């Protein structure tokens, strides 16, 4: 009975070893008698004991590998060191297992040669400013080269570009000179802007002063014009009042039945008022002179009778 129990335990162990569970994002490459049998995907699988074996467990997730800096020479004979980062993913576990002996080493060597070829066609300045172009070219080349190995290169990045010490020093001096130049330009532009603002302020002030003087002159002219108009209106009203008074006096005399002699006497009185004791000579019409003489004679006769 013991050998039956032992046999049962052995059979149970053998059965357990033949049952395989493939986890998510992995694949198992199975060989039978040393040859490729199948690729197991996610799930539970059963293999034959002794004749079947799991040759390789392959991770299907995207993986990252960082390669050491590689020496490269630019088109203008500048030696620099560049290290790259490659993002890849296994798409065919069978090709990955049987396509190349050491896939990671193969990708590293392929990356170094591809990088040398690309940088060899670029000058130093282009290398420093064309990272995106270099990344795209390398990804395309590596993706084509690794396709027979069941590997897809998703992205390639230049992690560091390390030029020689002399080049770094020259670049630092150039950057310092460029910063000083930009500072000088900004300072000059600031001074220019300040001068323009000051000039515009003076111009605006002069324009406002001129407009104020113009408005003041217009106001003075309008005030003078208004004063002259009022003065002229006053004189016209005075002349009108005098003429009206004269007209009223003449009309009163006519209405009183005064003859020509009275009118002439009134005229004589008007001449006397006109002289006002200031004139040295007054020219009197002849008819008024005769009337004046007659008035004087009558006056003398009246005095004699008394």
* First and final C-alpha spacing in the chain: 206
pLDDT of residue 254: 63
Mean of all residue pLDDT scores within the chain = 80
Displacement of CA 244 from its chain's centroid (Å) = 80
Question: 49 and 17 in contact (C-beta within 8 Å)?
Answer: yes
pLDDT of residue 302: 43
Instruction: Please determine, for residue 155, whether its predicted confidence score (pLDDT) is greater than 90.
Output: yes
pLDDT tens for 52-76 read 888 899 999 999 999 888 889 888 8
| Least trusted range by pLDDT, from 32-46, 172-186, 282-296 | 282-296
pLDDT band at 298 (very low <50, low <70, confident <90, very high): very low
Instruction: Show me where the domains of the chain are located.
Output: 2-59, 63-163, 259-306
pLDDT tens for 194-232 read 889 888 888 888 888 888 888 888 888 888 888 888 887
Determine the topology of domain 63-163 in CATH: Tetrahydropterin Synthase; Chain A (3.30.479)
Instruction: Please determine, for residue 275, whether its predicted confidence score (pLDDT) is greater than 70.
Output: no
Q: What are the CA-CA distances from residue 146 to residues 92, 119, 129, 141 (Å)?
A: 11, 21, 28, 9
Instruction: Please determine, for residue 305, whether its predicted confidence score (pLDDT) is greater than 60.
Output: no
Distance, CA of 71 to CA of 124 (rounded, Å): 14
Share of the chain above pLDDT 70, in %: 79
pLDDT tens for 92-148 read 999 999 988 888 899 999 999 999 999 988 888 888 888 889 999 999 999 999 999
pLDDT tens for 8-52 read 777 777 777 788 888 998 999 999 888 899 999 998 988 888 888
Question: 95 and 150 in contact (C-beta within 8 Å)?
Answer: yes
pLDDT of residue 299: 47
């Amino acid at each position: 009975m013991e050998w039956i129990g032992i046999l049962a335990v052995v059979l149970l162990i053998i059965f357990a070893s033949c049952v395989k569970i493939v986890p998510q994002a992995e694949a198992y490459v199975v060989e039978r008698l040393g040859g490729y049998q199948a690729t197991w995907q996610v799930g539970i699988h059963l293999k034959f004991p002794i004749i079947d074996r799991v040759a390789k467990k392959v991770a299907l997730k995207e993986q990252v590998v960082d390669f050491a800096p590689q020496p490269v020479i630019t088109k203008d004979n500048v030696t620099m060191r560049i290290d790259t980062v490659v993002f890849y993913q296994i798409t065919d576990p069978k090709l990955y297992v049987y396509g190349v002996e050491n896939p990671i080493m193969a990708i590293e060597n392929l990356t170094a040669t591809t990088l040398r070829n690309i940088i060899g066609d670029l000058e130093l300045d282009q290398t420093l400013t064309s990272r995106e172009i270099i990344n795209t070219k390398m990804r395309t080349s590596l993706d084509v080269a690794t396709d027979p190995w069941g590997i897809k290169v998703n992205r390639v990045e230049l992690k560091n570009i390390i030029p020689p010490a002399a080049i770094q020093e020259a670049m630092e001096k150039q950057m310092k000179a460029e910063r000083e130049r930009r500072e000088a330009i900004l300072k000059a532009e600031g001074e220019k802007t300040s001068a323009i603002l000051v000039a515009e302020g003076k111009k605006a002030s002069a324009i406002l002063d001129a407009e104020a003087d113009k408005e003041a002159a217009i106001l003075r002219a309008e005030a003078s014009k208004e004063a002259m108009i009022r003065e002229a209106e006053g004189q016209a009203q005075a002349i009108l009042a005098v003429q009206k008074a004269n007209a009223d006096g003449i009309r009163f005399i006519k209405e009183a039945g005064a003859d020509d002699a009275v009118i002439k006497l009134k005229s004589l009185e008007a001449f006397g008022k006109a002289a006002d004791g200031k004139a040295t000579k007054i020219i009197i019409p002849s008819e008024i002179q005769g009337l004046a003489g007659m008035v004087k004679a009558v006056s003398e006769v009246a005095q004699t009778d008394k």
